[in-house]
Amino acid sequence: MSFFQMRLKKYSMTQKIIIGNKIKKICQNHKVKFIVNDDPLLAKKLNADGCHLGQKDMSINKAREIVGNKMIGITCHNSIRLAKNAIKLKPDYLAFGAFNSSKTKKTKYQATTKILNKVNKITNTPIVAIGGINSSNYKNLLLNKATFLAISSYIWNNKKFKPKKAIGILR
């Protein structure tokens, strides 16, 4: 299963809706789940497949009231404590990172594969690995049981390969 997360920090709501509707159609045409970052209200407006919540976003319970039975994931950085708290709220996935330095955003939390192993021992909830993931480091995350990989810069800001080629290298 593939996912696309729309992460638009510096756009107006009108722009996000216009862009989001276009992305949603592309995702549907390619059978890719469409997730909205940080904003359950926008996810509902776009009828997205779900939303992703950071630690400073609204609670998962409030987000569920807004998006209903759609997918909700939650960031746990590099913390077992955050993971345990999140697991109680039954998210659809847990996200951890950054596993590597990233050009997408400033790395505040450094995660290691040890967190993947620890979390897999306490839950069956899917795990997403985030942060500086590329063709030379992604296999180690999968070998350590990351369920999904969140990859941005390697695909969209790759100086060697266009997005389609970069994705193909990772398959």
pLDDT by residue (tens digit) across 71-103? Answer: 999 999 999 999 999 999 999 999 999 998 876
pTM of the model: 0.91
pLDDT given for residue 171 in this prediction: 77
State the amino acid at position 148 in one-letter form: F
- The structural domains of the chain, ordered by start, are 3-170 (3.20.20.70)
Torsion sign, CA atoms 12, 18, 19, 21? positive
Residue 2 has pLDDT above 90, yes or no: no
State the amino acid at position 115 in one-letter form: I
pLDDT by residue (tens digit) across 97-132? Answer: 999 887 666 777 889 999 999 999 999 999 999 999
Residue 16 has pLDDT above 90, yes or no: yes
Residue 60 has pLDDT above 80, yes or no: yes
* Rounded mean pLDDT, 35-51: 97
pLDDT given for residue 105 in this prediction: 64
